[in-house]
Structure 1
């Protein structure tokens, strides 16, 4: 099924991209890109802040004894490599997340389950921080003059839906619902060939619920650094528009970035959100009374930055950037606390 759906989603994204290009004057888009000049360096550095805060957020998604083995820079490298694989493989996050876990195991001797559990926790705290980031953006929507009311209402509805789903996902991890389901499966199908996979899933569930139960402060710190990462995205947008010769208020910048991230989350099924990001930014800018070509130009700048970052991740993954660190491995009992 995935072999059929992935190409269809990709073609859908290509169609959205084509619509975005046809909806604006592309000569104006080209002119904006040419005026960016050396300002792209500041845009790139702003995204470097995003990557740094994301790495810090991930660092707090580990238990203290696990995090002690990892520097922020080490996690930044692992994250950069993993995200590059997420981008280039047809499996999405199924391609990059195991790569991250592999590097954590091979280079820092953290168990494979420990690496995967930390990634699920980090993804959850990142989404929770995105909710906190999008709430002010949605409030700003109704304070900006001249904005399309249907667009504002639709965006607010999207935020509420997204928030409910993420909170349910968090509760699913913390309340032990997954353990209950796994236990039911184990009792119902005691001789199933899937038993090893079920055992691994149960171990992951135990690790994640143990993290939330025993380390609530670390969870909040992970959310905080994730939130700073989203705010750094506003800075990236500011630099991009500033060198395009367009100055917007921080309220408008925050709103644009918040709704853009909602679009990207909602289009997770499209590789790299191709087309969805471009069409989304065109619609966002037009709804806010701005030129649609600005939205497409902003998207193309991010695509260029994205390609460079992917190249950096592939370079790190194929180099000797990682040096094995010999540390004692925790006992299985410790990892399940």
Structure 2
């Protein structure tokens, strides 16, 4: 991004946030906030603890899916904890940075490189793989939710919207997977390489070709990692529906497991479609309010559900920043130790390192 692009990006960011907030204001115009607040306070610590525990499980499952994509790392409990910790830091930045949910991905690659000797190319490839696998799991999850929605009494109002969103996202995810699986970038670069301009393009795409080779290797030659990664990604979304089920139960507006899956699947569809809105402000909340209100018959239940999910999200963002601060402190300590070692070597007339 050039310096001239930054003002435009800033304006667009605020525009997206404004549209999301305006949508939310329109949705909650006639909601009884006192009733919603009473529901939240009535949850008690048990309800909040249940919501946090279930989300933690979903987050850890998603981290395991990413772990499978990092071929260099052994599949042990210790390394699964390390991957989870790095993902906590990265997702905290993904949430707060206005970069379409991708602002924390470079941070993950840097932490893997600096602290765990995973090359940038392998780290970037694993992040792309994790994103793609996560989206494949989401397509399956949305399909299940769409089928359930079609048979629900609320389906008449929202089925067409959900079907359109599902087809749009499925097409985009399918194209993304095909580009990686069949090395579309490398093939295009090879054809253009026969021209003078193409040779320069090919040289510039050298790093991309290497990453693309790693992606193809994972899909074609590591099915025992790829298939479990997809299943774990799907499990992550299903556990997310369990969180919605638990929150509504403790709010005093119980739904069936199928209804919780409908709410969560359409909510995730909206989140994916409005990824450009920072933290999905307004869009996620509006979707939850409308869907939970339609299923439970109480818009206040939707407001309370959206608020509890935001509280949980803020808590995990803070947790991620705390873990990131620990990584930063470790980096400073290592730099200080290296500096002291270099100073000692210099004082003894010995070569550094």
- Which of residues 133, 148, 168 in structure 2 aligns to 1:125? 133
**Correspondence 1:1-337 to 2 at 5 A:** 1-38=8-45, 39-63=47-71, 65-67=72-74, 71-144=79-152, 146-188=153-195, 189=197, 192=200, 197-288=204-295, 290-320=297-327
Report Cα offsets for 1:3-36 as digits up to 9, x if no partner: 3322211111121222233241212211111112
Aligned residues of 2:65 and 2:233 also touching (Cα < 8 A): yes
1:114-164: CA deviation from partner (whole Å, max 9, x where unpaired): 0110011111111111111122211111222x3251411221222122122
Unaligned runs of 5+ in 1: 325-337
SS at match of 2:107: helix
Shift of 1:169: 1.1
CA contact (8 A) 2:109 2:123 kept: yes
**Structure 2 contact 293–300 (Cα < 8 Å) conserved:** no
Q: SS of the counterpart of 2:103?
A: helix
1:288 match: secondary structure: helix
Q: Which moved more, 1:179-188 or 1:91-100?
A: 179-188
Q: State the alpha-carbon separation in 2 of the partners of residues 179 and 212 from structure 1.
A: 16
Which SS does the other structure have where 1:71 is aligned? helix
Higher relative contact order (CA 8 A, sep 6+): 1
TM-score by length of 2: 0.85
User: Does the 8 Å CA contact 1:151/1:287 hold for their aligned counterparts?
Assistant: no
Matched-pair contact (CA < 8 Å) for 1:264–1:277: yes
Structure 1: how far apart are the matches of 2:198 and 2:148? 54
Cα distance in structure 1, aligned partners of 2:39 and 2:168: 35
3-state SS of 1:84 partner: helix
Contact between 2:150 and 2:159, CA under 8 Å: does it hold in 1? yes
- Counterpart of 1:95 in 2: which secondary structure? coil
Instruction: Measure, in 2, the Cα distance between the counterparts of 1:94 and 1:237.
Output: 25
Say how many residue pairs are matched. Answer: 321
User: What TM-score, normalized by structure 1, do the two folds share?
Assistant: 0.89
SS of 2:275 mapped into structure 1 = coil
Compared CA separation, residues 89 and 289, structure 1 to 2 (3 A): closer
Q: Which runs of 5+ in 2 are unaligned?
A: 1-7, 332-353
Contact 1:57 1:222 (C-alpha < 8 Å) held by counterparts: yes
Greater mean deviation of Cα atoms: 111-120 or 199-208: 199-208
1:86 Cα deviation from its structure 2 partner: 1.1
Shift of 1:317: 0.5
Aligned residues of 2:189 and 2:198 also touching (Cα < 8 A): no
